[in-house]
Amino acid sequence: MGKKYTIGVDYGTQSGRAVLVDLSNGHEIADHVTPYPHHVIDERLPGSGIKLEYDWALQHPDDYLEVLRTSVPAVVRESGVNPEDIIGIGIDFTACTMLPVDEAGEPLCFQAELADQPHSWVKLWKHHAAQPEADKINRIAEERGEAFLARYGGKISSEWMIAKIWQILDEAPDIYEKTNMFLEATDWVISQMTGNIVRNSCTAGYKAIWHKRDGYPSKEYFKALDPRLEHLTDTKLRGEVIPLGSNAGGLQPSMAEMMGLKPGIAVAAGNVDAHAAVPAVGVVTPGKLVMAMGTSICHMVLGTEEKEVEGMCGVVEDGIIPGLFGYEAGQSAVGDIFEWYVEESLPAYVKEAASKEGLSVHQWLEREASAYKPGQSGLLALDWWNGNRSVLVDTDLTGMILGMTLLTKPQEVYRALLEATAFGTRKIVDAFQESGVDVDALYACGGLPQKNRLLMQIYADVTKREIFVADSKQTPALGAAIFAAVAAGKEAGGYDDVVTAAQQMARVKEETFKPIPENVEVYEKLYQEYNLLHDYFGRGENDVMKRLKKIKLSTEAELKPVR
């Protein structure tokens, strides 16, 4: 059998990327990025121009198909590989990114008469407007002593499936009624490729409170939330849940023609971006925490037992690598905070200086900030620009910078923001370690490790652990290609299991980031201060952030009153 290939498609927050991968060694032969034509929809609906409320974030489902129409043919063309030798395709997605579909499996927002209704669109993972529903989900689960809560660090996030569905029911009962099924976007795209609607065990487990042995929470629990939700899991959340690496069905001829692929090739079950990255950096055993570092960070680590970890996003058996418990935690904004600073808060002279030197603003700030020692700026920040996902699980928390003076420089603020995100990661590492889930080393992938060396050194110093960096430009997409190779199977030229596939196809760079002892010492002191602020503002001692948000919402006349 000659060389065989698979395609992995990574659906990020702002764009989708396809890679064509050689199965013998994991080399990415070609890659192509398609920015989403409609971007993140957080102000007005496309077409109708309807204004969205605060904390909303939507996407356009056709943007996902555009990635298949554009990026897949592009990688086939660019690689020169014969489509006969491409034996499978896999995807990974942001999550929980979900949408309501009709009987034909079509998004409700595609129906002209529903297109002006915000709730008919795709809710992106960072849609945070379902916090009131999430609060009730948690309160009622606690009151009833629901065992599932412990598997989600004690709290279900407003980013996840049930809160988003309940928000639709609360605010647009007609859309809820018209919905045949609520799907993760990753499962919807797979259904478009195969003609079958199946749910993948990863998003079902992490985002929709599904358990391999117990299934979904009981009908009584859903009834206690809202009587109209009693039969949700048998109706609008129904459908077979299939394990990662399964073949979700053969590629339909019309889709094969659109993408320039062979009809009938294996289409792997959908997956989550961060989770797909784990085997793609070669992590298939416990003790190695993988950080998918981009606009946000997802932290994944494997274990042999189910442990309770405060504020983790979830622990799911087989949720990342079959045979192991996959743990996930996360920070909802990391690169997004740096982008906010660069776009919204930087003096013009920095932009001019950077452009004079032919550097990006980030590069200029990184160089200038590198000249400082840990602690030298006198600044300390809380990294909650997009709420706190772990360990506090509270999207109503906000960001903060402490220690500013008239002499504070932009590069000092930039460095303080990098450090704040590192402290957030340290908090997560500590939470795992203290609960008996070992974290011996860190593995980094995503856009940030390639872009900012200072950031990576700070993470090593703050977490006191060596960091290995993915040697792949598109790690989640490589992961999706690995799962596609498993879905295709050995007989077709792929692999029988994820561990073998990862051993052949994954790699990290030789150079690593190691903690520098003198930096570690100062950062340990700063981290203790961060911890004090974290608990003071985040654990209820001073709810000023929440009060400010309430005042803000109540003053915005065109918004509904706070629920």
Ligand X SMILES: O=C(CO)[C@@H](O)[C@@H](O)COP(=O)(O)O
CB 344, min distance to ligand ADP, A = 11
Q: How far is CA 255 from CA 247, 263, 272, 280, 482, in A?
A: 16, 8, 22, 26, 21
298 forms part of the interface with ligand X (CB under 6 A)? yes
Q: How many other CB atoms sit within 10 Å of the CB of residue 139? A: 11
**Can you tell me which of 5, 7, 9, 12 binds ligand X, judged by CB under 6 A?**
12
The nearer residue to ligand X, 272 or 321, going by C-beta atoms, is 272
292 forms part of the interface with ligand X (CB under 6 A)? yes
319 forms part of the interface with ligand X (CB under 6 A)? no
Closest CA to 156 of 182, 132, 137, 170: 137
CB 273, min distance to ligand ADP, A = 7
154 forms part of the interface with ligand ADP (CB under 6 A)? no
Alpha-carbon span 62 to 494, nearest angstrom: 30
Residue reference for tokens 């909802």: 332
CB 505 within 8 A of CB 485: yes
CB 539 within 8 A of CB 391: no
339 forms part of the interface with ligand ADP (CB under 6 A)? yes
CB 254 within 8 A of CB 195: no
336 forms part of the interface with ligand ADP (CB under 6 A)? yes
Give the type of residue at 221.
Answer: Y
CB 451, min distance to ligand ADP, A = 4
545 forms part of the interface with ligand X (CB under 6 A)? no
* 28-36, 139-147, 422-430, 450-458 -> range binding ligand ADP (CB under 6 A): 450-458
**Can you tell me which of 90, 107, 245, 294 binds ligand X, judged by CB under 6 A?**
294
Which among ligand ADP, ligand X, none contacts residue 480 (Cβ within 5 to 8 A by kind)?
Answer: none
Which among ligand X, ligand ADP, none contacts residue 94 (Cβ within 5 to 8 A by kind)?
Answer: ligand X
The nearer residue to ligand X, 4 or 288, going by C-beta atoms, is 288
Closest CA to 414 of 338, 334, 345, 357: 338
The nearer residue to ligand X, 326 or 494, going by C-beta atoms, is 326
**CB-based burial, 487-496: b 16+ in 10 Å, e otherwise:** bbbeebbbbe
384 forms part of the interface with ligand X (CB under 6 A)? no
448 forms part of the interface with ligand ADP (CB under 6 A)? yes
CB 32 within 8 A of CB 74: yes
Alpha-carbon span 439 to 444, nearest angstrom: 13
The nearer residue to ligand X, 379 or 444, going by C-beta atoms, is 444
The nearer residue to ligand ADP, 121 or 338, going by C-beta atoms, is 338
Q: Residue 469: which residues within 8 A CB-CB, separation 6 or more?
A: 443, 444, 445, 449, 450, 456, 508, 509, 511, 512, 513
Q: Residue 118 phi/psi, 5° resolution? A: -50, -35
151 forms part of the interface with ligand ADP (CB under 6 A)? no
94 forms part of the interface with ligand X (CB under 6 A)? yes
First to last CA, the chain: 62
Residue reference for tokens 């690995």: 482
**Can you tell me which of 338, 423, 432, 537 binds ligand ADP, judged by CB under 6 A?**
338
The nearer residue to ligand ADP, 12 or 118, going by C-beta atoms, is 12
Residue reference for tokens 């297109």: 115
* 60-68, 229-237, 270-278, 392-400 -> range binding ligand X (CB under 6 A): 270-278
CB 501, min distance to ligand ADP, A = 23
Q: How many other CB atoms sit within 10 Å of the CB of residue 473? A: 14
CB 399 within 8 A of CB 416: no
- Which residues of this protein are in contact with ligand ADP, per CB under 6 A? 12-14, 294-295, 335-336, 338-339, 362-363, 366, 446-448, 451-452, 455
Residues of the shown chain interacting with ligand X in the complex, contacts defined by CB under 6 A: 12-13, 94-95, 125, 272-274, 292, 294-296, 298, 328, 330
